[in-house]
């Protein structure tokens, strides 16, 4: 087993554009090594680094042990840690010039609060069933904003146009995010594996129209997803990505 040490910080995407231009993997590994490094397992700081070979000959060494445990810095996003009043207030402020989005978000917050009481306060949940049903009919069916009441969404969500928006109920969205029309945030369904995991989106993420974010990907804080992008890999914080599949353009 060989031992090697990567650079303190990964090189810029522009420096590796030649090797990564044919790859759909976002350039956010734990360690980077040159394509000239031997492809056997490398140990850095006592942690095995397993290589992944990309088109063009570039090698990325990913901390597989950390990946198997789940990156500890990934926060738990969603509206569960915020009061109903705070969430509604921040939603109204974020959509202050859009009455339609204000109505959608207010109805969502009320339905979400009641849905969460299904197993803890059955009586309150039962009383709220008409509100939940009305939300489903008016918002999800008629207005075509398929944002299930079970979805965990942080306060301050800004909706532009509020049309043809689809969010999987298992997705988690952070605070002060922006979503536009014709956007899909969903799980990856495979015939031989069944329903997979859904995206986790950080705080202050701006998603362009017609974007598709699918599977168990993590979108870092302050990231920007370009219009029409198809995101199937993790996106680093403050990254600007676009394309199909989405590729890193630059950092904010």
48-81: pLDDT as tens digits: 444 443 333 333 333 333 333 333 334 444 445 6
**Residue 212 located in a structural domain:** yes
Phi, psi of 2 (to 5 degrees): -90, 160
Q: Which two tokens stand for residue 96?
A: 């202050």
* Domain limit, last residue, from 69, 87, 106: 69
> What pLDDT, on the 0 to 100 scale, is given for residue 57?
34
> What pLDDT, on the 0 to 100 scale, is given for residue 192?
64
Residue that wins the pLDDT comparison between 55 and 167: 167
Q: Tell whether 88 and 55 lie within a shared domain.
A: no
Q: Tell whether 51 and 86 lie within a shared domain.
A: no
Q: Tell whether 26 and 105 lie within a shared domain.
A: no
Work out the percent of the chain whose per-residue pLDDT is above 90.
55
Segment 147-171 mean pLDDT: 94
Q: Tell whether 30 and 136 lie within a shared domain.
A: no
Given a contact cutoff of 8 angstroms between Cβ atoms, the answer to whether 59 and 33 are in contact is yes
Which value, in Å, is the radius of gyration of the alpha carbons in the chain?
21
Count of domains for the chain? 2
Question: Please, where are the H alpha helices in the chain?
Answer: 17-20, 64-69, 84-94, 99-115, 122-127, 129-135
Q: Tell whether 126 and 239 lie within a shared domain.
A: yes
> What pLDDT, on the 0 to 100 scale, is given for residue 55?
34
What single DSSP character describes residue 124? H
* Domain limit, last residue, from 39, 69, 99: 69
**Is the CA virtual torsion 131, 136, 140, 142 positive or negative?**
negative
Q: Tell whether 57 and 91 lie within a shared domain.
A: no
CB neighbour list of residue 249: distance below 8 Å, 6 or more residues apart:
13, 226, 240, 241, 242
> What pLDDT, on the 0 to 100 scale, is given for residue 81?
62
What residue numbers bound the domain in which 173 lies? 79-251
Pairing mode, strands 165-167 and 218-219: unpaired
């Amino acid at each position: 087993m060989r031992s090697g040490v990567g650079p303190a910080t990964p090189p810029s995407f522009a420096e590796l554009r030649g090797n990564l231009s044919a790859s759909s993997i976002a350039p956010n590994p734990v360690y980077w090594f040159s394509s000239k490094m031997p492809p056997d397992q490398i140990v850095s700081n006592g942690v095995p680094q397993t290589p992944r070979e990309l088109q063009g000959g570039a090698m990325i060494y990913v901390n597989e042990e950390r990946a198997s445990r789940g990156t500890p810095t990934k926060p738990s996003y969603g509206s569960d840690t915020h009061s109903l009043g705070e969430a509604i207030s921040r939603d109204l402020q974020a959509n202050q010039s859009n009455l339609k989005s204000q109505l959608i978000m207010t109805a969502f917050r009320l339905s979400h609060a009641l849905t969460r009481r299904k197993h803890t306060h059955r009586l309150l949940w039962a009383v709220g069933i008409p509100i939940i049903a009305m939300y489903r009919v008016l918002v999800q069916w008629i207005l075509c904003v398929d944002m299930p009441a079970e979805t965990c969404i942080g306060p301050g969500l800004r909706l532009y146009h509020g049309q043809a928006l689809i969010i999987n109920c298992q997705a988690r969205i952070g605070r002060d995010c922006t979503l536009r029309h014709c956007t899909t945030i969903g799980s990856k369904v495979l015939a031989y594996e069944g329903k997979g995991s859904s995206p986790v989106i950080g705080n202050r993420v701006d998603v362009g129209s017609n974007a598709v974010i699918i599977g168990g990907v993590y979108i870092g804080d302050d990231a920007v997803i370009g219009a029409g992008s198809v995101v199937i890999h993790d996106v680093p914080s403050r990254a600007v990505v676009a394309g199909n599949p989405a590729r890193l353009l630059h950092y904010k």
